[in-house]
Amino acid sequence: MKIKLDRTKCDGFGACARWAPETFDLDDWGYVSLTHAGNVAPEHEDGVRRALLDCPVHAITELHTVAEVDATR
Ligand code: SF4
């Protein structure tokens, strides 16, 4: 699974890091960055999917196609 994060939308609620701390790094103000460039290990996918659903501003997106993944490089 690969995800991307739109930091311009992130409001720093921190919900994603609560569900998937291995994938979302919180800074001192509660804003996040992605670990492992958004590549999610299979064992962390459930938590990341919950984070996607819980993000109140829809800042996290799952990438489904090779073209979408290539666009993040
Ligand atoms: S849940 Fe959404 S708004 Fe909150 S810190 Fe994560 S990406 Fe940002």
Model-level pTM? 0.87
Token duo for residue 2? 């690969």
Average pLDDT over every residue of 23-51: 95
Which run of H or of E encompasses 22? none
pLDDT higher than 80, residue 72: no
User: Alpha-carbon torsion 60, 39, 51, 17, what sign?
Assistant: negative
Task: Look at residue 67 in the predicted model and tell me its pLDDT.
Answer: 77
Instruction: Tell the residue number behind the tokens 């993000």, with chain if given.
Output: 55
Q: Determine the CATH number of domain 2-71.
A: 3.30.70.20
> Is any ligand 1 atom within 6 A of the Cβ of residue 40?
no
pLDDT higher than 90, residue 37: yes
Task: Look at residue 30 in the predicted model and tell me its pLDDT.
Answer: 84
> Is any ligand 1 atom within 6 A of the Cβ of residue 15?
yes
